[in-house]
Amino acid sequence: MKGFGRFSFVLMVLIVTPLVVQAQAWSGIISTARATDWSQAGLPGDVPPDASWTQCGPTISPYGSSGSYASPSTINNALNHTGSGYTSCGAHTYILLGAGDFYLNGAIQFGSTSYDVLRGAGPNVSSGTRLHFSSAGSCNGFPADICVTGSNSSQWGGVTDANWTSGYAQNSTTITLSTIGGAIVGVTPIILDQCNTGYTGNSSNDTCTGAAVDNGQFFVCDQPGASQAGGSGVGCETETQSNNYWPLRSQEEVVTVTQCDGVSTFGHVCSSGSNITISPGVRAPNWSAAFSPKAHVPVNTVVNSGVENVYLDNHTAGQEAIVMMTCHACWVNDIASYYGNGWHVQDFFSSHDAILNSYFYWTLTAGDKSYGVGGFDSGDLLVENNIMQGITDPINYDGPCPGCVAAYNYAVNDYYGNTSYLFAMVSFHSAGQNDILLEGNIGVGGDQDQVHGYHDMNTFFRNQFWGMAANNGVICSNGAAGSCFNHSAVHLAGGARYANVIGNVLGTPTYDTAYECVGPASLSPFTCANQSFSVYDLGYGGQTQGESDFDNTPPNPNDPLVPATMLLWGNYDSVHAAAQWNSSEVPTAAPAYPNSVPSTHTLPPSFYDGLSSSYPSCGTGLAFWKNPTTGTCPPFPPIGPDVAAGSSSILRCTSGQFNYSRVLSASQCAGGTSTPDDGGFAAANPAMVCYLNQMGGTPDGTGNMLTFNPTACYTSDGGGSESSGTPPTAPTNLTATVD
């Protein structure tokens, strides 16, 4: 695990060490072009740096009532250091809210200060800090209860646009921009983009013209078809155009400047965009002057600010709980969030943010666009060790998020109003998404859909994806094709090319009847006998797993390049009841970016957290791996073909009320029988242990919101790789720029 509080050191290393030469845990398994460096995802130093920060001003006592919601101005003025008693606070401070109920009639706004934290007395619903909202405020165009953002005026505005004129090679750390917009070394997230495949632009604006042309390889496309608004010809999405904010420029990467003007000092304000050094290096292999690359530099950025130890009640306001926008190294940690609408936490135009150790319960409508947490035009976001209960779409990437990692999360009851349809635990839901890592998660599945366009080069590693689960207590029976929808552990729709699926434990015994369901060249409603009961669903052009596209005219095509470019290696599946190490499932002949057959069956413990050894119990140094209530740790890694979980093995209920649900003890099946799940190759991660054992959650995720006390569930398990340190020093020359 990376050490704490070493922002400047990390920055220096990245300046002098190009991405291409840094040893990667996946080296020798995945080819260099198909993966990236995930080790820098999240906060510099891995955990929120505010443990040693001091309190700013007096503790704010609860105010307002359920019959009379009050203004949030007292909290907002304290956060902005303008309220009485808070004006003399410096950087690296926190505002403390007392235990009890706050009833607020508007949004909490982080406005003019960085290195600032809103901290409560804990997310425990009975004894913590509870924030109730009757209405939400505008967070630069997003309705949210808490807004952590720079002072941009809207989702679309507040950026300086530049032409990106050189430095396109994969792993390049030196680029040139026509202007730099006052970007700050080590602070400002810069969004790089280019026109979609087949389009080109110009130097004067962001407009792209042309038509989608499938190049037979890394294909970036969000072209609506002829039957869709604004579309023509054959499309590559089943609904409206991609969610990205610059139309037809879906490929994006988010970087920070580590050197400009020959200066690498943290906080230096850049005056020239010539030969700037960036971190990370250029990730995708297809950047080209032919696609008119651009850069977008936010005017203001919030740095090192966070929300922690609070309970958020969103059900009256009916809006998103927290939005982090134009942030660098911001976080949400140790919170509980009740009834989010749209999102519980959305990360947008940001870099190195983190959503950690939290509990998210239910969505307002249990319908489409009912999300838990995720990234939206961000980079290096870490979503780690969270519990999602009753969330339709628990982790959703609704825009590009290169370098992002979702790891060791647990989702149960992905509740959707149509109980025959099941949403995946993690969804890739927009065009231009590449280089995202899923690791160590436990839930229904991973879904790279085609709703808003194509994806390339994403990686699933050491997850347990069941492929099926109860939808609010209802199991869709394994019957004829077309009776149940989206019940595959891994769904790669048409255009989800160059996927890497390695070391996972997949499927549900007795439920899954087929290994793969592959979309044919000709369109067919259902090709497999039980299309929703296969472990892998690959290449179909429709919105639903196992279906061709019959909603659009002409239809989006099925994509034979999905299985042809996909790397499968060392995955245990419930159909074979064994790990598969098949050279025939390695894309040695894939166009442009083939992968050699790995020479080993030995997999690293992690692709992102820096651990190179396995731990049967404690000793990882991970800040959340030990359960302080029991004093025990899960094995690390907890999931994979090389894991012998033994007495720590996840069990599967085989009868009774919770049939098919996963549990940690036979008694949790409530009178039903149980058996070790998937050959004993999966142990629970800390989030699953917390939900079932400390919180007493039902195995199928039904029921009311539970009491969540993260201090009873998570603590560091020691280990030699964890170190303490001081937070980064605030720049002193940025009064008018860093917000």
pLDDT tens-digit profile of 215-267?
A: 999 999 887 764 555 555 567 877 665 555 688 899 999 999 999 999 999 99
What is the Cα–Cα distance from 76 to 712, expressed in whole angstroms? 31
Reported as type and span, the H/E element at residue 8 is: helix 7-16
What is the three-class DSSP state of 388? strand
What is the Cα–Cα distance from 738 to 709, expressed in whole angstroms? 34
Identify the pLDDT of residue 7: 37
For residues 659, 665, 671, 676, the Cα torsion angle rounded to the nearest 10 degrees is 50
Identify the pLDDT of residue 736: 31
Q: Which residue did the predictor score with more confidence, 512 or 154? A: 512
Mean pLDDT across the stretch 533-556? 77
What is the Cα–Cα distance from 30 to 734, expressed in whole angstroms? 42
In contact, 320 and 292? CB cutoff 8 Å = no
Cα angle 174-175-179, degrees, rounded to a multiple of 5 = 135
Q: What is the pLDDT of residues 62-100, one digit of tens each?
A: 999 999 999 999 999 999 999 999 999 988 999 999 999
In contact, 529 and 516? CB cutoff 8 Å = no
CA distances from 437 to 23, 379, 625 (A): 17, 12, 20
Listed range (41-50, 109-118, 217-226, 693-702) with the worst mean pLDDT: 217-226
Q: How does residue 519 score in pLDDT terms, banded at 50, 70 and 90?
A: confident
E-only strand ranges, 364-436: 371-376, 382-384, 387-389, 393-397, 405-407, 410-412, 426-428, 433-434
Mean pLDDT across the stretch 152-172? 84
What is the Cα–Cα distance from 285 to 652, expressed in whole angstroms? 42
E-only strand ranges, 513-641: 514-518, 534-538, 567-569, 571-573, 578-580
For residues 225, 226, 231, 233, the Cα torsion angle rounded to the nearest 10 degrees is 70
In contact, 250 and 430? CB cutoff 8 Å = yes
- CA 389 to chain CA centroid, nearest Å: 17
Q: How does residue 679 score in pLDDT terms, banded at 50, 70 and 90?
A: confident
Mean pLDDT across the stretch 156-173? 90
CA distances from 460 to 152, 400, 464, 682 (A): 35, 17, 10, 15
Q: What is the pLDDT of residues 356-377, one digit of tens each?
A: 999 999 988 888 888 999 998 8
Could you check whether the bond before residue 635 is cis, i.e. omega within 30 degrees of 0? no
SS (H, E, C) 340-361: EECECEEEECCECCEEECCEEE
In contact, 132 and 102? CB cutoff 8 Å = yes
466 contact partners, CB below 8 Å, separation of at least 6:
443, 444, 445, 489, 507, 508, 662
Sheet holding 496-497, edge to edge: 433-434, 455-456, 496-497
Q: Judge whether residue 481 has pLDDT over 60.
A: no
What is the three-class DSSP state of 336? strand
Percent of residues in the chain assigned helix, strand, coil, to nearest 5: 10, 30, 60
Enter the DSSP assignment of 325: E
Amino acid type, 369: K
Q: How many percent of the chain have pLDDT more than 90?
A: 68
Q: Judge whether residue 715 has pLDDT over 70.
A: yes
Q: Judge whether residue 511 has pLDDT over 70.
A: yes
Q: State both tokens at 221.
A: 């496309």
pTM: 0.94
Exposed e or buried b per residue across 107-121, where buried means at least 16 C-beta atoms within 10 angstroms of its C-beta: bbbbbbbbbbbbbbb
What is the Cα–Cα distance from 484 to 5, expressed in whole angstroms? 49
